[in-house]
Structure 1
Amino acid sequence: MVSGTEFAGRRVTVAGLGVSGGSAARALLGLGAEVTLVDGGDGERQRRQAAELTAAGVEVRLGEGDTLPKGTELVVTSPGWPPEHPLFAAAAAAGVEVWGDVELAWRLRGPGAAPWLAVTGTNGKTTTTGMLAAMLTAAGLRTAAVGNIGTPLLDVVLADPPYDVLAVELSSYQLHWAPSLRPHSATVLNLAPDHLDWHGSMAAYAADKGRIYQGNEVACVYNVADPATEELVRAADVVEGCRAVGFTLGPPAPGQLGVVEGLLVDRAFAGRRDVAVELAAVEDVRPPAPHNVANALAAAALARAYGLAPEAVRDGLRAFTPDPHRIATVGEVAGVGYVDDSKATNTHAAAASLGSYPSVVWLAGGLAKGATFDELVAAAADRLRGVVLIGRDRGLIAEALARHAPDVPVVDLEQTDTGAMAAAVRAAARLASPGDTVLLAPACASMDMFTNYHVRGDAFAAAVGQLATEREDHEQ
Structure 2
Amino acid sequence: MGSQEVSNVDWQGKHVTVAGLGVSGIPAARVLHGLGAVVTVVNDGDDERSRGQAAELEAQGITVRLGDGATLPKSTELIVTTPGWQPDKPLFAAAAEAGVPVWGDVELAWRLRGPGAAPWLAVTGTNGKTTTVRMLASILEAAGLRTAAVGNIGVSLLDAVLGEETYDVLAVELSSYQLHWSPSLRAHSAAVLNLAPDHLDWHGSMAAYVADKGRIYEGNTVACVYNVADPATEDLVREADVEEGCRAIGFTLGTPGPSQLGVVDGILVDRAFVTNRQKQAQELAEVADVNPPAPHNIANALAAAALARAFGVEPAAVRDGLRAFRPDPHRIEHVADVAGVTYIDDSKATNTHAAEASLAAYDPIVWIAGGLAKGATFDELVTGCAKRLRGVVLMGKDRAVIREALARHAPEVPVTDLDRTDTGAMSEAVREAARLARPGDTVLMAPACASMDMFVNYNKRGEAFADAVRALAAENA
Question: TM-score normalised to the size of structure 2?
Answer: 0.97
Give the one of 336, 355, 366 matched to 1:331.
336
Is residue 388 of structure 1 aligned with residue 393 of structure 2?
A: yes
Q: Offset at 1:35? A: 1.0
**Structure 1, residues 280-331: CA drift from partner, whole Å, max 9, x if none?**
1111110010100000000000000000011111111111111111000111
Q: Offset at 1:445? A: 0.8
Percentage identity across paired residues of the two chains: 75
Distance 2:216 2:342 in 1: 38
Name 1:351's counterpart in structure 2: 356
> 5+ residue gaps in structure 2?
none
User: Match of 1:430, as an amino acid?
Assistant: R
Distance 1:8 1:408 in 2: 66
Name 1:53's counterpart in structure 2: 57
Name 1:340's counterpart in structure 2: 345
Give the one of 417, 434, 438 matched to 1:433.
438
Alignment of 1:70-469 (within 5 A): 70-273=74-277, 274-469=279-474
Q: Offset at 1:370? A: 1.5
Distance 2:218 2:232 in 1: 16
Q: Offset at 1:93? A: 2.2
Q: Offset at 1:4? A: 5.7
Q: Determine if contact 1:196/1:370 at 8 Å carries over to the other structure.
A: no
Name 2:42's counterpart in structure 1: 38
Q: Give 3-state SS (helix, strand or coil) of 2:10's partner.
A: helix
Q: Give 3-state SS (helix, strand or coil) of 1:198's partner.
A: helix
Distance 2:411 2:451 in 1: 26
**Structure 1, residues 108-143: CA drift from partner, whole Å, max 9, x if none?**
112111100000000000000000011111111111
Q: Offset at 1:260? A: 1.1
User: Match of 2:475, as an amino acid?
Assistant: E
Q: Offset at 1:182? A: 0.9
Distance 1:243 1:14 in 2: 37
Which segment drifts farther, 463-472 or 72-81?
463-472
Q: Offset at 1:49? A: 2.4
Q: Give 3-state SS (helix, strand or coil) of 2:269's partner.
A: strand
User: Match of 1:450, as an amino acid?
Assistant: F
Structure 2 CA distance for partners of 1:226 and 1:169, relative to 1, 3 Å: same
Distance 2:198 2:460 in 1: 21
Which segment drifts farther, 45-54 or 19-28?
45-54
Is residue 470 of structure 1 aligned with residue 475 of structure 2?
A: yes
RMSD: 1.1
Question: TM-score normalised to the size of structure 1?
Answer: 0.97
Q: Determine if contact 1:5/1:31 at 8 Å carries over to the other structure.
A: no
Q: Determine if contact 1:4/1:108 at 8 Å carries over to the other structure.
A: no
How many positions carry a matched residue from both structures? 472
Distance 2:392 2:438 in 1: 13
Q: Give 3-state SS (helix, strand or coil) of 1:79's partner.
A: coil
Which segment drifts farther, 141-150 or 90-99?
90-99
**Structure 1, residues 232-264: CA drift from partner, whole Å, max 9, x if none?**
101101001100000011111111011111111
Q: Offset at 1:46? A: 2.1
Q: Offset at 1:37? A: 1.1
Is residue 19 of structure 1 aligned with residue 20 of structure 2?
A: no
Q: Give 3-state SS (helix, strand or coil) of 1:7's partner.
A: coil
Which segment drifts farther, 155-164 or 276-285?
155-164
Instruction: Please list every run of at least 4 consecutive aligned residues from structure 1 whose deviation after the TM superposition is greater than 4 angstroms.
Output: none
